[in-house]
């Protein structure tokens, strides 16, 4: 597929999570030709892996996030929105009329002439590499006694009665995991590098469990070494006696998927803060005709509806600007 350079209506969307899909829908409805470039084999992003009911989406009660991903992807299919999936953005250059992108998809290279670009590349789970240099870590990893996927504890939950586990992290996910494990009968050591940063509702529930002695909270605490012995895993800590646990769940947070993209010269000048792309209220970035939406542009308020709303805002702003620009020339 090669689109002529005078196509003023084609907009490239990098990332096919909920933000990218919402933006594509709005652009299509506003008369544009959105093209979604998604690196994975399926649209949906993070939602694909979240198999819990999502209670936060108005009008769609009872659906899991993964089910929402299917509903949204089906909507994109019905609208016949162009989707390269799985695909990789190989080249991106600025031109007089916007951008030229080279995308690899299904063993072919496609050249796209884009009027604007919307970055919707989301975030990823921070991996266990933070522990890689610590003594004993490799042994614990190879024994399958440490993992970091947000819901790994649920698949093993039945085994946690009367066990002691460590949850490493201080955010929402660490708190939800700690609560789930306590409800499954485990005693939890909650190890926080600084202090708890979870939202008030789940924090309150965890505080109750701490008061009941079912969670032991360790603020300002870091693991300095792991050692497997016959009673379990001894965790050496920076600020106290070692604790012994049966299993470790790391909940280290998330990182914005922006590094790979900012390697393209066309994105020179993109302002980021801790990896998150900075935008104005209309989702415009510091680079002309480049927008950013969803989790990659919103470190504070990450949710399905925020991502949808930001996709819609970017599409509307883009449409108004193109019309204004075209009426001047
Ligand atoms: C454990 C957990 C529980 C959550 N629970 C809820 C909840 O109950 N309710 C709620 O509303 N929200 C919840 N959220 C948040 C919600 O899932 C996110 O806010 C939302 O999915 C973000 O969508 P997004 O499109 O911005 O990003 P993502 O879903 O991260 O999508 C980004 C997409 O971009 C792709 N991509 C990345 N880089 C590139 C590239 N270079 N080229 C091409 N494609 C690329 C990725 O493969 C991905 O498909 C939860 C999140 C987590 C982690």
Of 41, 42, 45, 292, best ligand 1 pocket probe by most atoms within 8 Å of the beta carbon: 45
Same domain, 237 and 181: yes
Kindly report the CATH number assigned to the domain that includes residue 164. 3.50.50.60
The encoded tokens of residue 262 equal 């900012």
pLDDT in tens, 204-243: 999 999 999 999 999 999 999 999 999 899 999 998 889 9
Same domain, 190 and 299: no
Same domain, 101 and 148: no
pLDDT given at position 272? 95
pLDDT given at position 2? 44
Structural domain count, the chain: 2
Cα separation, 222 vs 34, whole angstroms: 46
Overall average pLDDT of the 246-254 stretch: 95
Closest atom, ligand 1, to C-alpha of 48: 29
Kindly state whether residue 105 falls inside one of the protein's structural domains.
yes
pLDDT given at position 1? 46
Same domain, 95 and 149: no
Cα of 302 to ligand 1 centre, how many Å? Answer: 8
Q: What percent of the chain has pLDDT over 70?
A: 96
Same domain, 167 and 266: no
Kindly state whether residue 285 falls inside one of the protein's structural domains.
yes
pLDDT in tens, 131-179: 999 999 999 999 999 999 888 888 766 678 889 999 999 999 999 999 9
Q: What is the pTM of this model?
A: 0.90
Is the pLDDT assigned to residue 4 strictly greater than 60?
no
Please write down the HEC assignment for all residues of the chain: CECCCCCCCEEEEECCCHHHHHHHHHHHHCCCEEEEECCCCCCCHHHHHCCCECCCCCCCCCCEHHHHHHHHHHHHHHCCCEEECCEEEEEEEEECCEEEEEEEECCEEEEEEECEEEECCCEEECCHHHHCCCCCHHHHHHCCCEECCCCHHHHCHHHHCCCEEEEECCCHHHHHHHHHHHHCCCEEEEECCCCCCCCHHHHHHHHHHHHCCCEEEECCCCEEEEEEECCEEEEEECCEEEEEECEEEECCCEEECCHHHHCCHHHCCCCEECCEECCCCCCECCCCCEEECHHHHCCCCCCHHHHHHHHHHHHHHHHHHHHHHHHHC
Kindly state whether residue 46 falls inside one of the protein's structural domains.
yes
Let me know: does 123 contact 296? Beta carbons within 8 Å: yes
Cα of 234 to ligand 1 centre, how many Å? Answer: 35
Same domain, 109 and 87: yes
Kindly state whether residue 5 falls inside one of the protein's structural domains.
no
pLDDT in tens, 312-322: 999 999 999 99
Of 55, 118, 302, best ligand 1 pocket probe by most atoms within 8 Å of the beta carbon: 302
Per the structure, the complete domain to which residue 188 belongs is given by 127-250
Residue with the larger pLDDT of the pair 92 and 7 = 92
Kindly state whether residue 1 falls inside one of the protein's structural domains.
no
Cα of 20 to ligand 1 centre, how many Å? Answer: 10
Same domain, 177 and 220: yes
Same domain, 37 and 83: yes
pLDDT in tens, 23-80: 999 999 999 999 999 999 999 999 999 988 999 999 999 899 999 999 999 999 999 9
Same domain, 118 and 161: no
Q: Choose the final residue of a domain: 217, 250, 283.
A: 250
Kindly state whether residue 4 falls inside one of the protein's structural domains.
no
Q: Choose the final residue of a domain: 250, 272, 303.
A: 250
Same domain, 240 and 204: yes
Same domain, 88 and 56: yes
Q: Choose the final residue of a domain: 225, 250, 275.
A: 250
Let me know: does 293 contact 11? Beta carbons within 8 Å: no
Same domain, 105 and 194: no
Pocket of ligand 1 (CB under 6 A): 14-20, 37-40, 45-47, 50, 54, 56, 65, 89, 120-123, 150, 173, 257, 260-261, 294-295, 302-304, 307
Kindly state whether residue 63 falls inside one of the protein's structural domains.
yes
pLDDT given at position 5? 43
Instruction: Please name which of 173, 171, 241, 179 lies closest in space to residue 209, comparing C-alpha atoms.
Output: 179
């Amino acid at each position: 597929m090669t689109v002529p350079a005078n196509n003023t209506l084609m907009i490239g969307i990098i990332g096919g999570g909920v933000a990218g899909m919402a933006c594509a829908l709005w652009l299509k409805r506003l008369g544009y030709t959105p093209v979604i470039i998604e690196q994975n084999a399926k649209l949906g992003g993070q939602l694909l892996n979240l198999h819990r009911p999502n209670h936060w989406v108005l009008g769609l009660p009872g659906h899991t996030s993964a089910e929402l991903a299917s509903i949204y992807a089906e909507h994109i299919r019905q609208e016949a929105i162009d989707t390269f999936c799985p695909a990789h953005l190989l080249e991106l250059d600025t031109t007089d009329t916007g951008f030229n992108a080279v995308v690899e998809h299904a063993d072919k290279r496609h050249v796209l002439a884009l009027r604007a670009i919307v970055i919707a590349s989301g975030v990823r789970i921070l991996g266990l590499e933070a522990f890689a240099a610590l003594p004993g870590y490799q042994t614990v990893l190879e024994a399958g006694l440490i993992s970091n996927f947000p819901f790994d504890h649920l698949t093993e939950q039945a085994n946690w009665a009367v066990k002691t586990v460590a949850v490493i992290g201080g955010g929402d996910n660490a708190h939800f995991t700690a609560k789930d494990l306590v409800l499954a009968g485990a005693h939890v050591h909650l190890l926080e590098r600084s202090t708890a940063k979870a939202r008030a509702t789940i924090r309150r529930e965890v505080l109750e469990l701490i008061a009941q002695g079912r969670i032991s909270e360790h603020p300002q605490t870091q693991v300095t070494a792991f050692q497997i012995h016959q009673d379990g895993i001894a965790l050496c800590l920076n600020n106290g006696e070692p604790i012994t646990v049966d299993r470790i769940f790391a909940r280290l947070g998330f990182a914005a998927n922006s590094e790979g993209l900012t390697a393209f010269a066309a994105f020179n000048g993109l302002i980021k803060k801790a990896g998150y792309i900075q935008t104005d209220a209309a989702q415009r970035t510091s680079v002309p005709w480049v927008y950013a939406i969803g989790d990659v542009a919103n470190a504070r308020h990450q949710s399905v509806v925020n991502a949808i709303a930001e996709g819609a805002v970017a599409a509307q702003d883009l449409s108004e600007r193109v019309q204004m620009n075209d009426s001047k020339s």
